[in-house]
Structure 1
Amino acid sequence: MSTTISIEDVPFNRFHKILTVRSVGGLFVDGYVLSIIGVALATLSPQLGLDAFWQGLIAASALVGIFVGGFIGGALTDKLGRRLLYFVGPVMFVAFSVAQFWVQSGEQLFALRFMIGIAVGIEYPVATAFLVEFLPKKQRGPCLASLNVMWFAGAAAAFIVAESLLHVGGENGWRWTLASTAVIGALLFIIRLGTPESPRWLMSKGRHSEAEAVIRRVYGPRFSLANLPENRDGRKLKIRDLLHAGYGKRMAFVSIFWTCSVTPVFAVYAFAPRVLDALHLSGEWASYGSIAITLLFVVGCVLAMRRVNTLGRRKLLIRSFLWSALALLLLGWMNNGPSLLILALFGAYAVCIGGAQVLQFVYPNEIFPTEIRAGAVGFSASLSRIGAAAGTWLIPLSLQNLGIASTMYIAAGITLTGLVVSWLMAPETKDLNLDDAASLSTDPQAYARYRDTIQSERPRSAINDRI
């Protein structure tokens, strides 16, 4: 085999499949954690004496934790490596999920779910950076998209497990329900054992011999550093470069589209039974409707995952925002319609938003280079959770004070904002290798500013080197 063949062009092998399973497990836990609280709240609220304010605050607590965890996880993953941070999230999932079983107040539950949210925030940058830095080019988009499929699969599992445990667990059913996340966290820790460090990260730290050892282990003895395409312009990027030197525009795009895609979804997810009840679907209609809609979210993500390479990132994102916004507008307009119509519109939203959901991890991992990739994912995830947390906290108050129609119109407005931003700023990266996708040379104006910055820094760097 020629030494000039890029590792991005090798066949999808057993290692890639195992790594994908290891990484998507974190998003499964994420979907499980953030969804299960919505089902448990109805039972635990009377026992803990929670009013609407505290219900919304506890539902949003994990999202606030993700805000903090994203910043921490992104920075530490770029600084300390992918492999070390790969095990932090699972350990935290187990510890703080088990502790939920003994909570006695809303304040305690808020604190524990905040810590679980930090674990989720750490998962985003480390799991996605691992995947994108090992995967072949053709599988990069679909595998990163599969992360969101597993998020909704975890959410669906949460509804199913919660309904079962609440029925058989008696007055402590909600405690068993919240503590059940520990089981998944423990399994995640076990399956991640044996994962090597990312050779791209090792290269960015000057650890060339270790990087080559990993490449030979994963791809075979005929591969070496010569098979690893990497940015060779001589400049070492730092986390501050997310906000200037051409990457600020990309950071703004990712943060805004991610926020607009998750805010309505999280808000609806946390209070799915209450939203459906406000739309006149109660009892079994609400319970089974929540499960059905969740499964349709999975269907939407699977369909988007299959089209991320054929349709392209940009078209998929724009169409996703367009059709999902229309579904939300119709839900607001026809909120008094027949039950089957309401479920159909909710299902249409669930399927159509799949495109925006799966691209949340594709875009930031493709358009930022190795040195700041995890930081970009963590930063974007954190900023997006501001809107998600606010939406989750405010939705019970919105339903109570504004009504279901206005609530759906607000969700539609947020989605339409995502559409406009995507139309103006979304790039196309489907046919680019990872180095080219992350290079500013695809944006002539940004690249010119970037090269000017390099030129201005070189004399000072040369002086520092001589000193």
Structure 2
Amino acid sequence: MSIRVIDEAPLNGFHRKLTWACAGGPFLDGYLLSIIGVSLIGMSNELHLTTADESLIGAAALVGIFIGGLCFGAVTDRLGREAMYTIDLAVLVGGSVLSVFADETWQVVILRFIVGVAIGADYPIATSLLAEWVPNKHRGRLLGILILAWYIGAAAAYVVGYVMAEIGGNGTWRWMIASSAVLSALVLLMRIGTPESPLWLVNKGRTEDAQKAIKHALGRTVSTNDLLAAAATEQSLQQHRFRDLFQGTYLRRTLFCGLFYMCQITPMFALLTFGPTILGSFGLGKGNAGNLGSALISVVFVLGCIPALRMVDRIGRRPVIVWSFALMAIPLVVLGGGSSVPFAVVIACFCAYALFSGGPTVLEWTYPNELFPTSIRATAGGVATSISRVGAAAGTYLLPISLSRLGIGATMLIGAGITLVGWLVSVLWAEETRGRTLAETSALPAKTKQRSPAGEEQREPVREGEFGGS
């Protein structure tokens, strides 16, 4: 639905505070998923981990994200963004604290899975809440900032891991994990007092609460009739269900969001989780120096997001995602040369991949929030996350095996192939949503053209179950 006072509001202190509060979760996600790659070095020595154990630990959180996104996106649409917003962070704190005391491989795997569930829940919670509060013309950029926070968290994890390893050696892996518990607690405190989404409140018939939330956050008064009209515009009161994501036009959108997301993060997650190992395979940064190299690459991922944040709201979502995927494949093909690739070229290729990946990266959470109505917005975001994690978990689990059996060159070429699939999916299915309200972007496409009495062209909406094109 579309509430005019929200869509047209100027950015103020509330929007900035909400953006930072929502970004806290993705920051933690990047930190938690990357710190394990650093701590695995010391953990492996102390717990006598095999290659299979390391792969299982690396993939456990991603499997948890699959479950968390699939289940808790729908729960968020039922219970509300605000309630789930706090619960999942409390789980992150608890899982991180318990991980410090793990003495067996199975304990680490289970706790990483639990942390992953909480991370998977946070993606649709934070992104849907922010999307439903921010003005149209700033939505792409502000949602992209959440992704930026993810990479900052990943870079911070490698820097912290590097410093801790230098000071205390490999035995400090427990303190590395403990650092994530402290950060989780701080973000939890920062989120206290975050208001519920007015769109979700109206969708549930709580117009009075929606009016109060808007008045408190924006200092503006909205009539009950305006809120009901906004709901009718999007037809949210129809209350879409989970199964609607797999029918008609919504099926295409679900597949698009999940598949491009998967193709973008499968090589990226493998790179960030096993960054030191991959760089070591190229003969670069063995030992703790590999953590510093991984931190540098993570920083470049951040830098790649910055121009993309401006481009998605200026030139549009579709051209950004199509061209970015095409350019991302090139450095991975070059790295297919394996260990024979010169040192300078390896670094240049990793940096180029990181820079070009900014486009799809900032759209990972933008597209799911724009292409689906309020009643299933968080559900759709969760499903897209879950689809993406199928590839990410498989890639993370198989990467060490691929490195040992196929070699670094073949592994990089596989990554290039996955990236090209993402390009094809974007060419076929990417829609343009720049500058439009959530009501417009989530509406089903028009089927036929008619003429109004005034001679203006009108469109007849596609019925709910019909499969439409872009």
Report the TM-score range of the alignment, normalised by the length of the smaller protein: over 0.9
- Is the alpha carbon distance of 1:451 and 1:33 closer, same or farther for their aligned partners in structure 2, counting shifts above 3 Å? closer
Contact 2:214 2:221 in 1 (8 A): no
Q: What residue number does 1:449 align with?
A: 463
Tell me how far 1:46 sits from its aligned partner. 1.6
Tell me how far 1:18 sits from its aligned partner. 0.5
Q: What residue number does 1:185 align with?
A: 184
Q: What residue number does 2:42 align with?
A: 43
Contact 1:215 1:224 in 2 (8 A): no
Distance 2:447 2:26 in 1: 32
Q: Deviations over 1:233-279 (max 9, x none)?
A: 45221222111142111101111111100100001111111111111
- Is the alpha carbon distance of 1:145 and 1:226 closer, same or farther for their aligned partners in structure 2, counting shifts above 3 Å? farther
SS at match of 1:55: helix
Pick from 350, 353, 362 the counterpart of residue 358 of structure 1.
362
Tell me how far 1:364 sits from its aligned partner. 0.2
Contact 1:440 1:446 in 2 (8 A): no
Pick from 300, 305, 318 the counterpart of residue 301 of structure 1.
305
SS at match of 1:222: coil
SS at match of 2:159: helix
SS at match of 2:238: coil
Contact 1:204 1:371 in 2 (8 A): yes
- Is the alpha carbon distance of 1:275 and 1:201 closer, same or farther for their aligned partners in structure 2, counting shifts above 3 Å? same
- Is the alpha carbon distance of 1:8 and 1:402 closer, same or farther for their aligned partners in structure 2, counting shifts above 3 Å? same
- Is the alpha carbon distance of 1:410 and 1:202 closer, same or farther for their aligned partners in structure 2, counting shifts above 3 Å? same
SS at match of 1:449: coil
Q: What residue number does 1:397 align with?
A: 401
1:257 aligns with 2:256: no
Q: What residue number does 1:273 align with?
A: 276
Distance 1:154 1:327 in 2: 24
The code of the aligned residue for 2:245 comes to L
Give 1:376-395 correspondences, 5 Å limit: 376-395=380-399
Contact 2:152 2:302 in 1 (8 A): yes
Q: What residue number does 1:437 align with?
A: 441
Tell me how far 1:168 sits from its aligned partner. 2.7
Distance 1:73 1:225 in 2: 30
Q: What residue number does 1:210 align with?
A: 209
Q: What residue number does 1:54 align with?
A: 53
Give 1:95-134 correspondences, 5 Å limit: 95-134=94-133
Report the count of equivalent residues. Answer: 450
Distance 1:241 1:146 in 2: 29
Tell me how far 1:334 sits from its aligned partner. 5.7
TM-score normalised over the length of structure 2 = 0.92
Distance 1:82 1:285 in 2: 41
Tell me how far 1:451 sits from its aligned partner. 7.8
Distance 1:339 1:170 in 2: 27
1:328 aligns with 2:332: yes
Q: What residue number does 2:195 align with?
A: 196
Contact 1:167 1:173 in 2 (8 A): no
Tell me how far 1:363 sits from its aligned partner. 0.2
5+ residue gaps, structure 2, are 449-458
Distance 1:238 1:266 in 2: 31
1:286 aligns with 2:285: no
5+ residue gaps, structure 1, are 454-467
- Is the alpha carbon distance of 1:72 and 1:173 closer, same or farther for their aligned partners in structure 2, counting shifts above 3 Å? same
Q: What residue number does 1:339 align with?
A: 343
Identity of paired residues, percent? Answer: 42
**4+ runs of 1 displaced by more than 6 Å?**
443-446
The code of the aligned residue for 2:395 comes to G
The code of the aligned residue for 1:103 comes to A
The code of the aligned residue for 2:92 comes to F
Contact 2:161 2:291 in 1 (8 A): no
TM-score normalised over the length of structure 1 = 0.93
The code of the aligned residue for 1:366 comes to E
Q: Deviations over 1:310-368 (max 9, x none)?
A: 12100110111111111111111364122111101110001101111110000000010
Q: What residue number does 1:456 align with?
A: none
- Is the alpha carbon distance of 1:122 and 1:298 closer, same or farther for their aligned partners in structure 2, counting shifts above 3 Å? same
